[in-house]
Structure 1
């Protein structure tokens, strides 16, 4: 397999395309990226359309080219015709082209929806947002790790109720884990008895049940075949939340489907990954769960993909085949 990595800058004008093929060229590219101040306007649409054209030309020169990935890094402050970009991407060539976005400072709803549509079709793409405060921390060298939970954005009685309910449930789970840890000496004694194995299994089962409850809160089970989608149209804000949650769920399903371990470990990995992705999506855990409670039927397929990934590689593969059959 051959892999080519190219990059270029763009403002209102498109910069020169540069490709890197050796470690030395990679180091030189990094020095160019961080060492050259640039400023100017932004024409995101022209940059995307030009990239599609470059891929089309590359396909003519190399018939073996099978896949191309575009990672757009932008502040997002530019008008983009989403339908035009979608058509241009599909018409560029028979190469599978994925478009991922890293949004700096401002977000562009059209770009976020572009990624969400790809994820909804089972394609690999990602969306990552970094706000101005995080960028400032990075520039000062203070952002050394990503926090697990996003900001609590909501205000009002309902939002606080969701938050308090979440905290109370987490406290219940923590208390159960604490009690199990205090039984450590009992576990050691139990191993010396004829019933030791049974005692250990019963103790482990308590933690398993806590994990099952937590997993069910994060990824409720819905049946896309029997749960009708609400007839009313989503508001602009609700549609934005839907796209964000769709990206989170699709990413969780894709990543967890590649992980090893048993189903319990995959459940734990799914929850941890979802928490981290919410920060990028600018959603709090309470807002995420609130959307699933109210509009989860819009995302029944994505939730089912998570459950299939947790069940194991065979179930995940079967679900991807079924989803592909639906889209063809």
Structure 2
């Protein structure tokens, strides 16, 4: 590569030769203090209008003259600086353009090298994920971070030993996390079967970050609540069955007392009958009872009861 630099560009620099401005500030300050002390606030109050105008003109003229002199000196100093800055701005443009081109080329090469490093990082992560049985894109968001030069050997697309160890630790931690997650899912499903609960709500809770200990505790609470409710329902059902059985027993007893025995061959009613099971020789007059019955089991229960009456030859009338 041709060396386009030269000694002049490398050594040239602006040279400033300071000038000297002579002004006796000590005497200047002393004279101002003397003037101020001669014209105190009390003395100013005693001056005539014309005297005030005269003093104002005198001191204002002195200050104006000094300020004009300062401006003149400032121009002498500033003009060379302005001229230097203008010439420098114009002269440096070609060099600035060259620097911009070099910067763009440098950035292009740096980006190319960075992409090579990212490709290498991706291949390393994908290979290690394959060995661990993980999805190959598990660590995709970490590729950029590990593309920095500090993770690679100098001037090589090869990872440092400590970088590989760090990646191994990441992959192992993720593997352990997933295995633990699978074990927790299995634990929830088994517990759900034991508790006769649906597993989906508790799996969603695990996916949303709820600790497994809290989930298992909640499953036990839900199981206990479901069991309590089931016991309540069963107790209510049993009580209802007992009540209906009691009603049926009463109805059977009442029907037995009312039914007369019938001769199966002649159809003759045998007087003074006992319950259906055994006939007696004594006859009885028909016995009529007005009942109001409520069937908590609904219409089906009524039909069952009506059939029972008919089977036992009990006449009834619906009012």
Identify the TM-score tier after normalising by the shorter chain. under 0.3
TM-score norm. by structure 1 comes to: 0.17
Larger Rg: 2
Higher RCO structure, 1 or 2 (CA under 8 Å, sep 6+): 1
Q: Which has the higher strand share?
A: 1
TM-score norm. by structure 2 comes to: 0.18
